[in-house]
Amino acid sequence: MESERARPDARRSALVKRSLTISGHRTSVSLEDAFWRQVQKLAAGRGQSMSALIAQIDAERGEANLSSAIRVFVLESALQ
């Protein structure tokens, strides 16, 4: 079995769970650390808190899972 030291990408692909308040409700979201870092950068670039940006994504996601909607938002932002 390979150790994390032998696989430098292992930590980047590990899920990180964070608790957030969205529209007055507490929720937990699990994303890879790379996505959390990018969400933070995108929020800062828009002059928003990370919670405010995720609340916006949440409001526009329709039936999609919130974690998936965040990943798609980050990907689409990167492709622009």
CATH number at residue 43: 1.10.3990.20
**pLDDT band (50, 70, 90) for residue 1:** very low
CB 41 within 8 A of CB 53: no
Q: Which residues, listed in sequence order, are joined to residue 16 by a DSSP beta bridge?
A: 31
> Does residue 44 form part of some domain?
yes
Residue whose tokens read 């980047």? 12
* Segment 5-23 mean pLDDT: 77
> Does residue 15 form part of some domain?
yes
Expressed as residue numbers, the domain containing 27 is: 10-79
> Does residue 1 form part of some domain?
no
| CA distance linking residue 72 with residue 35, whole number of Å | 10
**pLDDT band (50, 70, 90) for residue 13:** confident
Predicted pLDDT of residue 11: 63
Q: Does the pLDDT of residue 79 top 70, yes or no?
A: yes
Helix ranges (DSSP H) in the chain: 10-13, 33-45, 50-60, 66-79
**pLDDT band (50, 70, 90) for residue 32:** very high
- Name the average pLDDT for the chain: 89
| CA distance linking residue 32 with residue 17, whole number of Å | 9
